[in-house]
Amino acid sequence: MKLSGHLEQNLAHLMQAAGSSADVTLSRVSLCGIPCALLTCEGMLSSAMLGELVLEPLRQFSCDAASGDALLRAILRTRLLAPDTAVLHDSAAILMKIYAGFAVLLAEGSETALAFGIQGYAARSISEPSGELNIYGAKEGFTETLRTNISLIRRRMRTPAMTFSLVTAGTVSHTDLCICYLRDRAPEDLTARIREKLESLPLETVFSSGYVRPFLEESDIGLIHSVSTTERPDIFCAKLLEGRVGVLIDGTPFALVIPQLFCETFQTLDDYNYPPAYATLLRWLKYGAALIALLLPAAYLACAMWHPELLHETLLRILTESEQDVPFSLPAELLGVLFMYETVREAGLRLPKAVSGAVGMIGGLLIGDAAVKSGLLSTPVLTVAAISATAGFVIPEHHAALTVLRPAFILAAAAAGIPGIALLGTSVMLHICGTEIFGYPVSAPIAPLYPHRLRDILARIGFRQLSQGNFRISEIRTDNPH
């Protein structure tokens, strides 16, 4: 609704639209003999800035304005108040500014209002990310405040090409989202398509990156993500340098990066701080840990049930003796152990930190020991499950996929042995190779093959070699043959 020239009518309509909310405060003042009103939202602005940048300048302000319009024009012209100033004409825009931490000034006889940016709400300070720990990297991560996160990026990217573009999502929450990209590196069509997706989100609220991520990805049933998340500004900036597009969301420390390649989930920032030989060893350790975490239970089951000739005679005898007194079948044992592992892990995540570690450790030890001693589980099965679970910790990015695929491979092994594992493995690989986002295959540079880009996948090469040909995400587009 457009503002009228009557102050009381405007105030009545605004307070009614706000539902007489307790956090919306109204202060009546008189400026140059003209009745005015100042609207604010408690807790969303800084009291010190309100006094210093708004109230004190208004108290000292004087002019010969004959109307409210002339008064507001004089205030705007002199620029005595907060530098972030906006002119508003309707009640919906006024309420949005108030809820965003602005102070809004209305005057009798004026059909406009002035909004002054003095945001200053309580927020968590910058601290080390809890989920992406690095030894040599920076010890600061994103926070829940969008403006703070933008400043963390700008400190690292002091170039005019670094662009921040704001959009609003959520028909109820009106959450601010910031699209971040380097103009000279990010493909224009990629940026435009991401903006289009964000502006058309069919959501009432956006409380975390998990609300936005599914609408950027092209499938809801994918085993792997084509959009990555990070809490680290240094990793975020490194991705932008490759021509990717990032999305910051107000209220969450987890930023999105589009697109993500599958091979990158095995890389960490510390890889580029270690010597190349050691970093290469760690990278292959992660590849091996992924295979162990995914295939070890299924391989054990296939050998025990279908292909005992593959096992050494001594090992086969140990396995046979351990399974004689167990009342459950081997597939049921493995699935039961994995189920209990996930149960204990979930309990450790949801409980308070003071007790979560003890519950996870003691619960796992007690349950495992009691199950073996009572004859419900065999020692080899418990050992295989423990090794598989421990290997999965090396690649936390793929925990969700591993949790879903481990039982699937166990069932495939129980049904057809090694051929069943091979068939399911081929299906998973074809699924990964067929996953794309905005025309970028997540399986690149392996499928499709870009041989010159494999040098930093199979091994961690030195910075001298990396500097000879900087990677750009535009190189792997399916409609951009190399």
Tell me the DSSP string of 124-173: PPP---SSS--SSS-S----S-HHHHHHHHHHH--STTEEEEEEEE-TTT
Are 288 and 411 in a shared domain?
yes
Range of the domain at 202: 146-271
Looking at the domain assignment, is residue 1 inside a domain? no
| Structure tokens belonging to residue 281 | 């060893």
Closest C-alpha among 378, 303, 367 to residue 339: 367
pTM score over 0.85: yes
Asked whether residue 279 falls in the same domain as residue 371, the answer is yes
Instruction: Give dist(CA 380, CA 323) in Å, integer.
Output: 9
Note whether residue 445 is domain-resident. no
Boundary residue ending a domain (212, 237, 271) = 271
- What average pLDDT does range 158-173 have in this prediction? 95
Instruction: Provide the pLDDT for residue 466.
Output: 72
Predicted confidence band of residue 368 (pLDDT cuts 50, 70, 90): confident
Q: Are residues 51 and 183 in the same domain?
A: no
Per-residue model confidence (pLDDT) at position 97: 93
Confidence of residue 481 (pLDDT cuts 50, 70, 90): very low
Same domain, 192 and 333: no
- Asked if residue 139 lies in contact with residue 234, where contact means CB atoms within 8 angstroms, the answer is no
Per residue in 202-245, pLDDT tens?
999 999 999 999 999 987 777 889 999 999 999 999 999 999 99
Q: Do both 92 and 18 map to the same domain?
A: yes
User: What's the number of CA atoms in the CB half-sphere (13 Å) around residue 482?
Assistant: 17
Residue 372, in any domain of the structure: yes
- My answer on whether 327 and 385 are in the same domain is yes
In a domain, 137, yes or no: no
Do 14 and 94 have their domain in common? yes
Neighbours of 398 (CB within 10 A): 22
pLDDT of residue 482 exceeding 70: no
Domain boundary among 246, 271, 296: 271
Which long-range contacts does 128-136 make (Cβ < 8 Å, 24+ apart)? 129/231, 129/232, 129/253, 130/231, 131/231, 131/396, 132/230, 132/231, 132/232, 132/235, 132/269, 134/232, 134/268, 134/269, 134/270, 134/273, 135/270, 135/273, 136/269, 136/270, 136/273
User: What average pLDDT does range 355-370 have in this prediction?
Assistant: 75
Query: At 436, is the secondary structure helix, strand, or coil?
Result: strand
The answer to whether residue 174 scores a pLDDT higher than 60 is yes
Answer whether residue 176 shows pLDDT above 90.
yes
* d(C-alpha 422, C-alpha 403), whole Å: 19
Number of domains in the chain: 3
370-396: average pLDDT:
89
Last residue of a domain, one of 215, 246, 271: 271
